[in-house]
Amino acid sequence: MAAVDVIKSCIDSIRQISKHIQDATVYLDAGSTESFQFLGAYPVLLELGARAICSLENMCALDVVVDWNSNSDPARKLVVITSSLLSDAHRYILRCLSTHQVVRHCIIFTSISETAHSAFPDSPLGPDAYPEYESLLVQDYEELVKKSRTKPGQGKLNIEDGGRSEFPSIGEDVLNLETSPSGRDFYENNNSLDYVEESVMKLVVSVYHFPMILCPISPRVFVLPSEGLVAEARLSTGHEDSISPGLPPFSTGILSDADDVPPGATLTAHFLYHLAAKMDLKMEIFSLGDISKTVGKVLTDMSSLYDVGRRKRSAGLLLIDRTLDLLTPCCHGDSLVDRIFSSLPRRNRTISGKGSGSQLKLGSLYLQRAPLDVQIPLARILNEEDSKIDSFRLLESVEAFMSGWNSGNSDSQLAGLINLGQKIHDKPSHTDAEILTGSFVSSENFLGMPLLEAILDRRTKDGALLVKKWLQETLRRENVAVNVKSRPGVATKPEIQAMIKALSRNQSSLLRNKGIIQLAAATLFALEESNYTLWDAFSSGEKILSVSSGETSQSLAIQIGDLINKSALLGSHVNKGKREISKGLLSLQDALLLMIIGYIFAGENFPTSGADGPFSWQEERLLKDAVVDALFENPSVANLKFLDGLREELETNVDSKLKSQGTAEESSELDIDDDQWGKWGDEDGDDDNKNEQVYGDVQLKLELRDRVDNLFKFLHKLSNLKRKNIPLRDGSLTMESNFDEDRKGLLYKILTRVLGKYDVPGLEYHSSTVGRLFKSGFGRFGLGQAKPSLADQNVILVFIIGGINGLEVREAHEALAESGRPDIELLVGGTTLLTSNDMLDLLLGNSSYF
The predicted-structure confidence for 649-665, as pLDDT tens digits, reads as follows 887 877 776 666 655 55
Q: CA nearest 38: which of 225, 305, 231, 307?
A: 225
**SS3 of 414-429:** HHHHHHHHHHHHHCCC
Q: Which residues pair with 40 in a beta bridge?
A: none
**Are 377 and 500 in contact, with CB atoms under 8 Å apart?**
no
For residues 837 and 531, what is the distance between their CA atoms, to the nearest angstrom?
A: 14
Percent of the chain with pLDDT over 70: 72
Helix, coil or strand: residue 376: strand
Q: CA nearest 805: which of 453, 335, 459?
A: 335
For residues 830 and 834, what is the distance between their CA atoms, to the nearest angstrom?
A: 9
Q: CA nearest 528: which of 380, 387, 373?
A: 380
- Asked if pLDDT for residue 180 goes beyond 50, the answer is no
Q: CA nearest 82: which of 354, 285, 270, 302?
A: 354
Those residues whose C-beta lies under 8 Å from the C-beta of residue 60, and which sit 6 or more positions away, are 54, 173
**Are 37 and 18 in contact, with CB atoms under 8 Å apart?**
no
Model confidence at 606, pLDDT cuts 50, 70, 90, reads confident
**Are 394 and 351 in contact, with CB atoms under 8 Å apart?**
no
Who has greater pLDDT, 267 or 429? Answer: 267
Which letter, b or e, does each residue of 786-814 get, where b requires 16 or more Cβ atoms within 10 Å of its Cβ? eeeebbebebbbbbbbbbbbbbbbbbbbb
For residues 201 and 143, what is the distance between their CA atoms, to the nearest angstrom?
A: 10
Q: What pLDDT score was predicted for residue 575? A: 52
Who has greater pLDDT, 639 or 362? Answer: 639
For residues 215 and 197, what is the distance between their CA atoms, to the nearest angstrom?
A: 41
- Asked if pLDDT for residue 737 goes beyond 70, the answer is no
Q: Which residues pair with 562 in a beta bridge?
A: none
Q: What pLDDT score was predicted for residue 662? A: 57
Q: Give, for 282, the enclosing helix (H) or strand (E).
A: strand 281-288
Q: What pLDDT score was predicted for residue 443? A: 85
For residues 762 and 829, what is the distance between their CA atoms, to the nearest angstrom?
A: 21
Rounded to 10°, the helix 6-15/30-39 angle is 120
Rounded to whole angstroms, what are the CA distances from 17 to 68, 81, 840?
A: 19, 11, 41
For residues 144 and 164, what is the distance between their CA atoms, to the nearest angstrom?
A: 7
Model confidence at 434, pLDDT cuts 50, 70, 90, reads very low
DSSP 538: H
**Are 87 and 152 in contact, with CB atoms under 8 Å apart?**
no
Mean of the pLDDT values across residues 509-526?
91
Q: What pLDDT score was predicted for residue 665? A: 54
Q: What pLDDT score was predicted for residue 658? A: 65
Mean of the pLDDT values across residues 371-375?
91
Model confidence at 388, pLDDT cuts 50, 70, 90, reads very low
- Backbone φ, ψ for residue 84 (5° rounding): -115, 175
- Asked if pLDDT for residue 745 goes beyond 80, the answer is yes
**pLDDT per residue as tens digits for the range 61-114:** 887 777 766 655 667 889 999 999 999 999 999 999 888 878 889 999 999 999
Mean of the pLDDT values across residues 262-268?
94
Q: What pLDDT score was predicted for residue 128? A: 92
For residues 830 and 325, what is the distance between their CA atoms, to the nearest angstrom?
A: 14
Who has greater pLDDT, 37 or 311? Answer: 37
Q: CA nearest 544: which of 601, 618, 463, 459?
A: 601
DSSP 237: -
Mean of the pLDDT values across residues 632-645?
78
Count of Cβ atoms closer than 10 Å to residue 498 Cβ = 18
Mean of the pLDDT values across residues 2-30?
93
Who has greater pLDDT, 568 or 166? Answer: 568
For residues 253 and 647, what is the distance between their CA atoms, to the nearest angstrom?
A: 39
Q: What pLDDT score was predicted for residue 624? A: 93
155-164, 508-517, 798-807: segment of lowest average pLDDT: 155-164
Who has greater pLDDT, 201 or 483? Answer: 483
Count of Cβ atoms closer than 10 Å to residue 109 Cβ = 25
For residues 753 and 772, what is the distance between their CA atoms, to the nearest angstrom?
A: 26
Q: CA nearest 739: which of 576, 544, 470, 526?
A: 544
- Backbone φ, ψ for residue 800 (5° rounding): -95, 115
Model confidence at 687, pLDDT cuts 50, 70, 90, reads low
For residues 785 and 681, what is the distance between their CA atoms, to the nearest angstrom?
A: 96
**Are 747 and 799 in contact, with CB atoms under 8 Å apart?**
no
Q: What pLDDT score was predicted for residue 72? A: 56
Mean pLDDT of the chain: 79
Per mean pLDDT, which of 184-198, 426-440, 697-711 is the most reliable?
697-711
DSSP 3: P
- Relative to beta strand 77-82, strand 105-110 is parallel
**pLDDT per residue as tens digits for the range 267-314:** 999 999 999 999 999 999 999 999 999 999 999 988 765 555 557 789
Give me the amino acid identity at 815: A
Q: Which residues pair with 55 in a beta bridge?
A: 28
Q: What pLDDT score was predicted for residue 488? A: 84
Helix, coil or strand: residue 224: coil
Q: What pLDDT score was predicted for residue 204? A: 92
33-37, 101-105, 483-487, 490-494: segment of lowest average pLDDT: 483-487
For residues 587 and 595, what is the distance between their CA atoms, to the nearest angstrom?
A: 12
37-41, 134-138, 742-746: segment of lowest average pLDDT: 742-746
For residues 194 and 638, what is the distance between their CA atoms, to the nearest angstrom?
A: 62
Mean of the pLDDT values across residues 559-581?
66
For residues 328 and 547, what is the distance between their CA atoms, to the nearest angstrom?
A: 16
Those residues whose C-beta lies under 8 Å from the C-beta of residue 662, and which sit 6 or more positions away, are 573, 574, 577
Helix, coil or strand: residue 208: strand
